Amino acid sequence: MIKPPQVYQSHSRNQQTLFFLQRPFVHGTSQHQQLPKQVLQSWSKRNKQLFLITCNAQASHTPSPATTAAATESNKTNSYNVKAIVKVKVATSGFFSSLRLNRGIDDITDLLGKSLLLELVSSEIDSNTGLEKETIKAYAHKAGQEEETVMYETDFKVPIDFGCIGAILVENEHHKEMFLETIVLKGFQKVTIKFDCCSWVHSKFDNPTKRVFFTNKCYLPSDTPSGLRRIRKEELENLRGNGEGERKSFERIYDYDIYNDYGDPDKNLKLGRPPLGGPEYPYPRRCRTGRPRCPADSYSEKRTRGFYVPRDECFSEVKQLTFSTKTLHSVLQVLIPSLATVIKDKDLGFQYFHAIDSLFSIGLDLPPDEIEEGFLRAIMPRLVKNIADSGGHVLRFETPEAMNRDRFFWFRDEEFARQTVAGLNPYSIRLVTEWPLKSKLDPEIYGPVESAITSEIINREIGGIVTVEKAVEQKKLFILDYHDLLLPFVNTVRQLKGTTLYGSRTLFFLTPDGTLRPLAIELTRPKDLETGKEQWKQVFSPSWHSTSVWLWRIAKAHVLAHDSGYHQLVSHWLRTHSVTEPYVIATNRQLSIVHPIYKLLHPHFRYTMEINALAREALINAGGTIESAFSPGKYSMLLSSAAYDLEWRFDNQALPADLISRGMAVEDPSAPHGLRLTIEDYPFANDGLILWDNIKQWVTDYVNHYYPKRKTVESDEELQAWWTEIRTVGHADKKDEPWWPVLKIPEDLIEILTIIIWVTSGHHAAVNFGQYTYGGYFPNRPTIARTNMPTEDPSEEEWKAFLRKPERALLNCFPSQLQATRVMAVLDILSTHSPDEEYIGEKMEPSWANDPVIRAAFERFSGRMKQLEGIIDERNEDTNLKNRNGAGVVPYELLKPFSKPGVTGMGVPCSISI
């Protein structure tokens, strides 16, 4: 608890007079909640009269001029007259209305001038006693109200020997929380002191602990003024909590837990899911909520409505009321159930391609709003349109940019290949370094390890140019390899109704013009130890024969479903959302808000915990969108866990290290960024490396300013505790890995921070904001393959049906109507920028603005971001760059730093905010 060590006195005579107003109840009891409205009105009227009488009585005792002069002279020599102005944000729908305050009670509190208790804290200790100086207290009263803010004011008399004001304690006298924007102190030593709070302050009736706000200054722990050291330490202890009890919505406690709440066995035992986090299923940790365990499964945590996140991590009202949050809730909780009433057969597929196209031209009629008239239309104008004739609503999707430019883009092999380097998942393509291809899995369990893609097959495809051996040697052969990761899941996934799975490999050849050409797809079914079925595998290649052409197209649909699942569960969810949550928790637990590294990281964690909680609630949960519409089905999160165990390592999250690990680049000091790309026209890497370097330069300037001496990094106890906790608690299942960076010198810190900032900004933007562009027309990126290949153990009737109508076989393989429309609606929302988005290099934090060195460094960083926009535009106009320029080709803009609101296919927010 933040509390002063001594007993203090108020310095406001007027407020002391008001303390004696009579009250019909005692604050803090439950009785006031039961008082009739008439009693409150009568008491309020009576106390207004007392208030006026008191003010008039005080005004009648006007001091003589001589007394006034003496008082003024005393003030000049003994104290400063300091005015505090507190700015409180008003809820969007009216003053505090969204907070559901009992205004009758709290209006009286405002009237009495006891809305907020403020205490000024000196940054110095008493030189005589060696103790902290007594704080100076005063109650702030409501002074005015504007459209979006309410102002509170009070006056202090601050002794001239008080020392610098380093912090202010706030106690909220209302019965509900308030959002404090700023506190400004005027008149102290002829300067204005500003506290940028931007935080919720709980009611003292919920928690008596006072909130502490520090001035906009940064201090390393060793540099903390002596008067602030205890408060700095206690504030961190408060944020850590004690690891006990269920968390309440108003709390600001950061703690860790495993993923044991994405299942719901209490609702249905079939919705039970194994916990993630531990030796069996390694995984990053999430925020602890403290909810009780499920009666149906003691390993699972009970799912209650509204998942706890620390109060300051919650969405702003602007974000709540715009596309990316409230709309996502509505899509998941209102629209999708409505779709289920329209599409009664959840397994019904699309019978014709024009039925898919009609989703963008005609749409689907929706049933009347179940909540209120026009609800869906009001919050989803992009998706839900009015029907003029009937007054109803229709779900009609916006045509994705890729389809808008080229209706048949999804059909072309060259576009299939181009999207591996300039599409939604540029993180999977890798160089082939060994030939022949072999699996690393146990042949006793999964069958022979040799790939069915032979030299003969590849030489047949590229024989006129180079042999396969030369192609490997010259670094011209690339692969999408989902063989070993997916193969262990194939037999279990195939037991689910309406889906199938293979292990897959897809080979590409780098042509002389710098583009990729697909050569072969291998699909593998492992042997089944239960049924005795042997391993099945087959290779499909582009062909001029009709049968082979259609088999190739269906094989591509399977690979794209694998890539979609890997993208969503690994490249997107795991590698950005999930791994970042421990960084957020550790930063708030171990780094004080006045620590310069906290100030640097804070913009990059905005809303991440809230969006992750929403994902656990309705996206990655049992029976949620991911499980219902993506290939791994109910095993989706187990696949994510397997990828974390086998593939994830912190050091390789650095973009240069990631490219090198995949063989997509080699170190070359003479090349731009110190890397030579294996594919020169690799849009994601080309743009990403500039962004990476810009971030690293900004971090370098920042760290070198605050750590001019190399040893100060190792001696910074908060920083060392932060890094230790990330490794050993937040990522506990990886704590013994040798690849974790050490943290001893500024260069170590620069690399660690650059990785974290890159992951939360550039990496996330590259895999998120193009989702609707590339996945909105689902034949381009089907999320699930529902049927086996026609050549896998077909009956005679099934084979004849394929030959007679191959288009039907492809359509049956695609997602069902319900799956497709459900995913399309979610992708539209996930691709949307909120109006209050904060883009990288755009907003300067208050503490940076106060430091001329950091201010200049950030302005240079911001300038480099603007330059990057111009570079990307120039590259997209370059006709020699065929992976980003051509007829019907969508320009690669995912790493352009700035964007307007909406679905734009560009913009790099600071944080993972959707």
- Which residues form the catalytic set? 572, 577, 764, 768, 914
State the residue for tokens 């995949």.
662
Lookup result for tokens 């170190």: 667
Give the sheet arrangement for strand 393-395, strand by strand: 364-366, 393-395, 384-386
Contacts of residue 713, defined as CB under 8 A and 6 or more positions apart, other chains included, come to 707, 719, 743, 744, 745, 746, 748, 749
Judged on CB neighbours under 10 Å (0-12, 13-18, 19+), 306 is exposed
CA-based nearest residue to 412, from 828, 809, 904, 887? 887
Dihedral angle sign, alpha carbons of residues 347, 351, 356, 359:
negative
Element (H, E) at 340: helix 336-342
Please give the angle made by the CA atoms of 98, 381 and 99, to the nearest 5 degrees: 5
Taking residue 136's Cβ as centre, other Cβ atoms within 10 Å add up to 23
Block residue for tokens 């070359």: 668
Q: At 243, give phi and psi (nearest 5°).
A: 75, 15
Query: Who's near 554: CB < 8 A, 6+ residues apart?
Result: 789, 790, 809, 810, 813
The residues with which 103 forms a beta bridge, in sequence order, are none
Cα distance between residue 458 and residue 467, in whole Å: 8
User: Burial of 530 by CB count in 10 Å (0-12 exposed, 13-18 middle, 19+ buried)?
Assistant: exposed
- The position carrying tokens 């319900």 is 818
Going along 526-632, which residue ranges are E strands? Answer: 536-540
* Interatomic CA distance for residues 261 and 309, integer angstroms: 14
Q: Is 794 helix (H, G, I), strand (E, B) or coil?
A: coil
Contact 188, 165 (CB under 8 A): yes
DSSP bridge partners of 191: 188
- What totals of helices (H) and strands (E) does the chain contain, helices first? 35, 24
Whole-number Cα distances in Å, 791 to 421, 549, 767: 30, 13, 34
- Amino acid identity for residue 417 in this structure: A
Other beta carbons within 10 Å of 346: 14
Which residues, 6 or more positions from 632, have their beta carbon under 8 angstroms from its beta carbon?
Answer: 489, 493, 501, 565, 569, 638, 639
Element (H, E) at 517: strand 516-525
384 burial (CB, 10 Å; 0-12 / 13-18 / 19+) is buried
> Which CA distances in Å does 904 have to 347, 686, 893?
32, 20, 9
Residue 896 phi, psi (nearest 5): -70, 125
Q: Would you call the peptide bond into 518 cis, given omega within 30 degrees of 0 as the criterion?
A: no
Whether 510 contacts 450, CB under 8 Å: no
* d(C-alpha 304, C-alpha 326), whole Å: 19
Cα–Cα distance measured from residue 256 to residue 582, given in angstroms and rounded to the nearest whole number: 8
Residue 302's SS3 state is: coil
- The single-letter DSSP state of residue 897 is S
